[in-house]
Amino acid sequence: MIQFTLSFSCIPQNNFRTFDSVGSSGRCAVGWEYREDKCYKVIFPAGPATTAEKKPLCANEGSQPAAITSQAENDWVTDFSLKAVQAAGKFPAISWLTLVANIQPDKSLKWENPGGVDCPVSFTNWGPGEPLGDGGTVLLYLDPTKVPFTSWAPGPSKGKWNDIWDTHKSEDPILCVKAAIGAPANAAACDYKPTPQPQCCGCQCNCGCRRQCC
């Protein structure tokens, strides 16, 4: 009699694909990336464009310009956007990401919240000496190998912000966000706080182990 020995290899939690997530979090359409009840997409203008000209790129896909509200989100957005620019074959010619905000006279920042009150900002990631009060557009630097301005030296500069005047034209993409499928309708709002989800226990190598939650 021939005997077969079966071995099971469990997938660690941090290797789960987005669509394997457990809980009430929704999913995203093709071309969008999921994170904490939201779907994100990096969208490129057809040519040099101002921030005002880029904003409809989000609206055309039922989304809005994204706000960044934590260091963890900033790190994730930076890595995600860098990969999108690289995949489009536009890096390093394009090394900035457009974010939309309202910079106040005192240089404080508020994220735009379409259909609602703009959100005061509790987290910022300005480069050295920024903001200069140039305008209401925030640019996030994507290049992990270079320093864009001598005033930012010695770095690192990846993920740092720079403000620029609203009339500036560039081919930098804009980051758009919308509520994930099945998520609360206000999930894309800049003041939205996701409900903590149950964390997956380690795989026990049993049937449906990726669905076992604490």
pLDDT (tens digit, 9 = 90+) per residue, 2-48?
444 433 332 223 323 333 333 334 479 989 999 989 999 999 999 99
Domain count, the chain: 1
Tell me which of 145 and 27 has the higher pLDDT.
Answer: 145
Half-sphere exposure of 157 (CA within 13 A, CB side): 24
For residue range 59-97, list pLDDT tens digits in order: 999 999 999 989 999 999 999 999 999 999 999 999 999
Q: Which domain holds residue 185?
A: 23-211
Q: What does residue 35 show for φ and ψ, rounded to 5 degrees?
A: -160, 120
For residue range 148-199, list pLDDT tens digits in order: 999 998 888 999 999 988 889 999 999 999 999 988 888 888 778 776 655 5
Asked if the structure places residue 10 within a domain, the reply is: no
Asked if the structure places residue 30 within a domain, the reply is: yes
Environment class of residue 139 by beta-carbon count within 10 Å: exposed (0-12), middle (13-18) or buried (19+)? Answer: buried
Asked if the structure places residue 9 within a domain, the reply is: no
Asked if the structure places residue 5 within a domain, the reply is: no
Q: What is the pLDDT of residue 86?
A: 96
53 SS3 class: helix
Asked if the structure places residue 18 within a domain, the reply is: no
Provide the CATH number for the domain around residue 68: 3.10.100.10
**What sign does the CA torsion over 172, 74, 63, 191 have?**
negative
Asked if the structure places residue 123 within a domain, the reply is: yes
Asked if the structure places residue 2 within a domain, the reply is: no
pTM of the shown model: 0.77
Tokens of 214: 């604490």
Asked if the structure places residue 16 within a domain, the reply is: no
Q: What is the pLDDT of residue 187?
A: 87
Q: What is the pLDDT of residue 4?
A: 41
Task: Find tokens 């860098």 and name the residue.
Answer: 82
Q: What is the pLDDT of residue 51?
A: 92
